Amino acid sequence: MQSDTQPNLIQRILHFPFIRLPLLGGVLFLLIGISNGFRYQYAATPLMALALIAGMVALGLTIYCAFIYFVERRTVSELALPHLGRELGVGLLLGLGLYSLAIAILMLIGVYRIEGINPWVYLLPMLSMALSSGVLEELIYRGVLYRVLEEYLGSWIALALSSLVFGLGHFLNPDGTLLGAIFITIEAGVLLAACFMLTRRLWIGIGLHMSWNYAQAAIFSGAVSGNEMPPGLLITSISGPDLLTGGKFGVESSVAAFAVCTLAGLIVLMLAVRRGNVLPPIWARSAAANS
Residue 212 is part of which domain span? 84-285
The pTM score is 0.94
pLDDT at res. 276? 95
d(CA 146, CA 116): 41
pLDDT along the chain (291 residues), means of 10: 64 78 95 94 95 97 96 94 97 97 96 96 96 97 97 96 94 88 95 98 98 96 90 94 92 95 97 96 82 68
Q: Is residue 172 part of a domain?
A: yes
Domain tally, the chain:
1
pLDDT at res. 172? 85
Q: Is residue 155 part of a domain?
A: yes
Q: Is residue 79 part of a domain?
A: no
pLDDT at res. 3? 53
Q: Is residue 263 part of a domain?
A: yes
Alpha-carbon separation of residue 209 from 203, 204, 256 (angstroms): 10, 8, 18
Q: Is residue 140 part of a domain?
A: yes
pLDDT at res. 1? 52
Instruction: Give the tens place of pLDDT for each residue, 77-92.
Output: 999 999 999 999 999 9
pLDDT at res. 7? 72
Q: Is residue 151 part of a domain?
A: yes
Paired residues of 97 in beta bridges: none
Q: Is residue 170 part of a domain?
A: yes
Q: Is residue 191 part of a domain?
A: yes
pLDDT at res. 5? 63
Cβ–Cβ under 8 Å, residues 195 and 275: no
